[in-house]
Amino acid sequence: MLKIDNLHASVEDKNILQGINLEVKAGEVHAIMGPNGSGKSTLASVIAGKEEYEVTKGNIEFNGENIDELAAEERAHKGVFLSFQYPVEIPGVSVTNFMKTAINETRKAQGLNDMPAKDMLKLIREKSELLEIDRKFLSRSLNEGFSGGEKKRNEIFQMAMLEPKLAILDETDSGLDIDALRIVANGVNKLKSKDNAVVVITHYQRLLDYIVPDYVHVLYNGKIVKSGTKELAHELEEKGYDWIKEEVNA
Amino acid sequence: MDLKEKLLSSFLVFENQVDIDTYVHDVRNDAIKIFEEKGFPTKKEEAWKYTSLNKILKEDYSVFPQQENALEYKDIKKYFIYDIDTYKIVFIDGKYSSHLSQTTHDGIDVCLMSAALTKPKYRILIENYFNKAATKDSLSSLNTAFSSEGAYIHIPKNKLVEKPIQIVHFSTGNESATMLQPRNLIVVGENSHVQIIERHQSLTNNPVLTNSVTEIFANKRAIVDYYKVQNDNSNASLIDNTFIKQKQESVASVHTFAFGGKLIRNNLNFYQQGERIDSILKGVTIIGEKQHVDHNTLVHHIEPNCESHQDYKGIFGENATGVFNGKIIVEKEAQKTNAFQANNNILVSDKATINTKPQLEIFADDVKCSHGCTIGQLDESAMFYMRSRGIPEKEAKALLMYAFSNNVLSSVKIPEIKQRINKIIANKLGVNLGFDL
Q: What span, in angstroms and rounded, lies between the C-alpha atoms of A208 and A232? A: 11
Q: Indicate the pairing of strand A166-170 with strand B338-347.
A: unpaired
pLDDT computed for residue B421 by the predictor: 86
* Backbone phi, psi, residue A207, to 5°: -65, -30
Residues 6 or more apart whose Cβ sits within 8 Å of residue B220: B190, B191, B247, B248, B249, B250, B274
Chain A residues close to B390, C-beta within 8 Å: 73, 76-77, 102-103, 105-106, 109, 162
Cα–chain-centroid distance for residue B174?
25
User: Across the interface, which of B381, B390, B437 has its CB nearest the CB of A106?
Assistant: B390
Residue A106: pLDDT above 70? Answer: yes
A165 in contact with B at a CB cutoff of 8 Å?
no
Tell which residue, B267, B243, B344, B258, has the closest CA to residue B293: B258
Q: How close, in Å, is residue B399 to chain A by CA atoms?
A: 8
Q: How far is A49 from chain B (nearest CA, A)?
A: 8
Domain ranges within chain B, ordered by starting residue: 1-257, 274-377, 378-437
Fold of A2-249: Rossmann fold (3.40.50)
A-chain residues within 8 Å CB-CB of B395? 101, 105
Average pLDDT over residues A49-63: 94
Q: How far is A88 from chain B (nearest CA, A)?
A: 6
Sheet holding A223-228, edge to edge: A80-83, A166-170, A197-201, A29-33, A215-220, A223-228
Contacts of A48 in chain B (CB under 8 A): 384, 388
**Which residues touch B231 (CB under 8 Å, ≥6 apart)?**
B199, B201, B257, B259, B260, B261, B424
Q: Which residues of A touch B407 (CB under 8 A)?
A: 91-92
Q: Which amino acid is at A220?
A: Y
Residues whose CB falls within 8 Å of the CB of residue B358, separated by 6 or more in sequence, listed in order: B326, B328, B341, B343, B371, B373
What is d(CA A136, CA A102) in angstroms, rounded to the nearest whole number?
20
Side chain identity at A68, as an amino acid letter? D
Under 8 Å CB pairs connecting chains A and B tally to 91
Distance CA B336, CA B331 (A): 11
User: Are A237 and A202 contacting, i.e. CB atoms less than 8 angstroms apart?
Assistant: no
What pLDDT, on the 0 to 100 scale, is given for residue B437?
A: 40
d(CA B342, CA B337): 17
Question: Phi and psi of A126, rounded to 5°?
Answer: -55, -50
Residue B435 confidence (pLDDT): 52
CA-closest candidate to residue B357, choices B28, B38, B50: B50
Transcribe B367-380 into DSSP letters: -EEEEEEEEE---H
> What pairs with residue B412 in β-bridges?
none
Please say whether the beta carbons of B147 and B183 come within 8 A: yes
Q: Do the chains contact at B403 and A71, CB–CB below 8 Å?
A: no
pLDDT block averages, 10 residues each, chain B of length 437 = 89 77 85 95 93 93 80 88 89 91 93 90 93 95 94 96 95 90 96 96 93 98 96 94 98 95 96 97 94 97 96 94 96 96 93 94 94 88 96 89 82 88 78 53
Comparing CB atoms, the residue among B389, B395, B407 nearest residue A92 is: B407
Nearest to B195 by CA among B252, B270, B244: B252
CB < 8 Å to B391, chain A: 73, 101-102, 105
Report whether B316 contacts B291 (CB < 8 A): no
pLDDT digits (tens, 9 = 90+) for A86-102: 999 998 888 998 999 99
User: What SS3 class is residue B59?
Assistant: coil
Q: Could you give the CA distance from residue B374 to residue B372 in angstroms, rounded to a whole number? A: 7
Nearest alpha-carbon partner for B87 in B115, B113, B110, B63: B110
Residue-averaged pLDDT of chain A:
93
Burial class (CB in 10 A: 0-12, 13-18, 19+), A225: middle
- A111 to chain B, closest Cα gap in Å: 14
Q: How far apart are the first and last CA of chain A?
A: 34
A87 touches chain B (CB under 8 A): yes
The C-alpha R_g of chain A, in whole angstroms, comes to 18
Read off the pLDDT of each residue in A105-123 and give the average, rounded to a whole number.
Answer: 93
pLDDT at A238 over 60: yes
Cα–Cα distance measured from residue B425 to residue B285, given in angstroms and rounded to the nearest whole number: 10
pLDDT for A57-80, tens place per residue?
Answer: 999 999 999 999 999 999 999 999
Residue of B312, B311, B310, B302 lying closest to B367 (CA atoms): B302
B30: CB partners within 8 A, 6+ apart? none
Q: In chain B, whose CA is at the least distance from the CA of A73?
A: B390
Q: Is the pLDDT of residue A245 over 70?
A: yes
What pLDDT is recorded for position B83? 78
